[in-house]
Structure 1
Amino acid sequence: MRPITRNFLVGLLVVAALLLALGAVPSLLASGDPYYLTATPADPPADVTPVNGSTLSERRFPYTFAAIASPEGRSAAYYRGPLGLKGAFTHAPFDEMGAYAEQYPEAVTPTATYVRLENTTYRLTVTQAADSES
């Protein structure tokens, strides 16, 4: 194998390894108190039309479905990470709330989003709490 070809392949492997590492690192970063998406059964305000939860994808809204399915009514913890770096590489409860505001503005109030699933309407909010799991 010629040296230029070998150097190119080594460089390509290094770049691929760095990209894989960059994808894995954000999930390992955890700093500060965790954020949760909480779901509590509630009646929506009169001017709010809840999102039909049966039309939502569990892959697109994993925090929503985790909070609704949880006996405590909250999703798994999400940590922002140092300097907010993690947010650019991972899915967060904030992303879901932003998607609701963009796609379903009639279901969003300044403090919550309302989703109806299996004849129950849930009030979704992002909360920050001291980590009790540590």
Structure 2
Amino acid sequence: MRPITRRALIGFALVCLALLALGALPTYLGAGEPYYLTATPTDDSGPAVNVTDLSERRYPYLTGAIESGRSDPYRRGPIGLKESFTHSPFDEREGLVARNPDARRDGGVLVTDGGERYLVAVTQA
């Protein structure tokens, strides 16, 4: 094998390993108290975001919160690196607000799921 080909393959392998490490690294960078997305049943009226047909893959924290009242925990990174590479409850809350800005409340976002209304908010344990 020619030396330039060998160096190119080694460089390519190192880039692939670095990208894999960046994909796995954020899960190990969690620090501080965990954040949760909570869904509290409410009777509030007004505009709400219809989340009945939203994908569980796109909104995993929201679907977990609607099913059990509270999503899986999310821990922020110590230096802000994790937020650039991971999906968070904060992203989901902002996505819901983007769908219907009028659904924003002081404590979170008003959503409807199959006729039930919930106030969805990010809370810290």
Q: TM-score, length-normalised on structure 2?
A: 0.94
The one of 110, 117, 121 equivalent to 1:125 is 121
User: Could you say which residue in structure 1 is the equivalent of 2:83?
Assistant: 87
- CA deviations on 1:7-49 (whole Å, 9 max, x unpaired) are 00100000110010011000111210000000010022x4x31
Distance 2:27 2:63 in 1: 20
Alignment size in residue pairs: 125
User: Could you say which residue in structure 2 is the equivalent of 1:132?
Assistant: none
Distance 1:65 1:53 in 2: 9
User: Could you say which residue in structure 1 is the equivalent of 2:38?
Assistant: 38
Q: Cα distance, 1:110 vs. partner?
A: 3.5
Distance 1:37 1:10 in 2: 43
Which 4+ stretches in 1 moved above 3 angstroms? none
Match runs of 1:52-131 below 5 Å: 52-70=50-68, 73-129=69-125
Letter of the 1:36 partner, please give it: Y
Distance 1:120 1:52 in 2: 10
RMSD: 1.1
Q: Which ranges in structure 1 are unaligned for 5 or more consecutive residues?
A: 130-134
Secondary structure of the 1:122 match is strand
Q: Which ranges in structure 2 are unaligned for 5 or more consecutive residues?
A: none
Instruction: Answer with 73-82 or 106-115: which moved more.
Output: 106-115
Q: Cα distance, 1:85 vs. partner?
A: 1.2
Q: Cα distance, 1:118 vs. partner?
A: 2.1
